[in-house]
Amino acid sequence: MTAFETIADGVHLARIPMPSGMLPYSLAYLIEDDRGRLHVVDPGSPTDEAIGALRAAVDALGRTPADVAGIILTHLHADHAGGAAALHAATGAPILMHEREAEAASALARGVPAPDLEEWGVPTDRQAEVLAAVTAPVASVLPRVDRTLTDGEPLDVPGRRIRALWTPGHTPGHLCLHDEDADVVFTGDHVLPTINSGLGLGGPTATNPIADYLAGLRRIGALSGRALPGHEQPFTGLAERCAELAEHHLRRAREVAAHPAGTVWEVARSLTWTGGWDALRGFTLLSALSQTALHRDFVDGGGLDGE
């Protein structure tokens, strides 16, 4: 599998190594405009190896850092936004993010809120492990955002029609991008080809991330074109994958609804998890507990009404 490839006319993919070991790489995208400039979607992790991989992709196109005109972030997690500050320093290109994600990033910069593990019923001997994972997905140095985007706003990419689509759930201000002319949808971590993205991983929100995510799936599932995700590989069948993800979360909500009593820990350990409950450690354990709490709130808020 090559580190760099062309996906569509003027749209290129770069596989950026990830240091965590959970996944081998994230996917950055380099979009050419009609002035010969590049616009980078999700530059990747903040490591020297990751930054070097992105620079190699720029070189492969016969360009220099001075040709980078914009840095667009689908969301604030380190494997997508972590390299943005270094790329900005090398290029001077502005960093763009949805306005709600910029608010979340500012809040998280003041401290990542920890869940109430006593209320969740987490055993004392597992609490330190869970607390240590709270900051895991967030960029250690959140980039300064130069301009925020609103839902439906066209990006300033000369010669291309690309719209920013607000798809909260994974994080409060997650963005997908729709390039109408290339007929591709940059899905970030909102829709991945085989992985079920964690939800609620960007700090507290006034709305339920499960409900937000399901609404975003309906919106993105209505688009045609090839999906360009933040991990794994580009894929077709976007509508079918969105429907599959929606059913996954509705099925999980039904599982939670079948266990109305008990703590979050007790309910979570009764559910079906890929690889099994006993295999969950650190961040994956925190994510499972968070998902369970969110699904309980979704059910209590009438999310399954009408089924």
CA–CA gap between residue 246 and residue 212 (Å, rounded): 11
**pLDDT attached to residue 41:** 98
3-class SS at 160?
A: coil
3-class SS at 97?
A: strand
Residue 220 has pLDDT above 80, yes or no: yes
**pLDDT attached to residue 283:** 85
User: pLDDT (tens digit, 9 = 90+) per residue, 101-112?
Assistant: 999 988 888 877
Residue 144: HSE in the Cβ half-sphere, 13 Å Cα cutoff: 7
Question: Residue 187: what are its φ and ψ, rounded to 5°?
Answer: -100, 0
Per cent of the chain over pLDDT 90 is: 81
Q: Which of the four CATH numbers 3.40.50.720, 3.30.450.20, 3.40.50.300, 3.60.15.10 does domain 4-300 have?
A: 3.60.15.10
Q: What confidence tier does 141 reach under pLDDT thresholds 50, 70, 90?
A: low
- Please compute the mean of the pLDDT values over residues 140-153 and round it to a whole number: 88
**pLDDT attached to residue 140:** 60
Place of tokens 């429907």: 243
Residue 49 has pLDDT above 80, yes or no: yes
Q: What confidence tier does 231 reach under pLDDT thresholds 50, 70, 90?
A: very high
**pLDDT attached to residue 75:** 96
User: pLDDT (tens digit, 9 = 90+) per residue, 14-37?
Assistant: 999 998 767 899 999 999 999 999
**pLDDT attached to residue 215:** 97
C-alpha distance from residue 127 to each of 124, 134, 251 (Å): 5, 11, 28
Whole-number average pLDDT of the chain: 93
Place of tokens 């899905």: 187
- Please compute the mean of the pLDDT values over residues 226-255 and round it to a whole number: 97
196 DSSP 8-state letter = -
Alpha-helix runs per DSSP H in the chain = 48-60, 78-81, 84-91, 99-109, 117-120, 124-132, 209-221, 238-257, 264-269, 282-300
- Greater pLDDT, 91 or 284: 91
Q: What confidence tier does 137 reach under pLDDT thresholds 50, 70, 90?
A: low
Q: Worst-scoring range by mean pLDDT, 65-79, 98-112, 131-145? A: 131-145
Residue 94: which residues within 8 A CB-CB, separation 6 or more? Answer: 70, 71, 88, 146, 147
**pLDDT attached to residue 132:** 87
Q: Worst-scoring range by mean pLDDT, 35-49, 163-177, 228-242, 277-291? A: 277-291
CA–CA gap between residue 250 and residue 22 (Å, rounded): 26
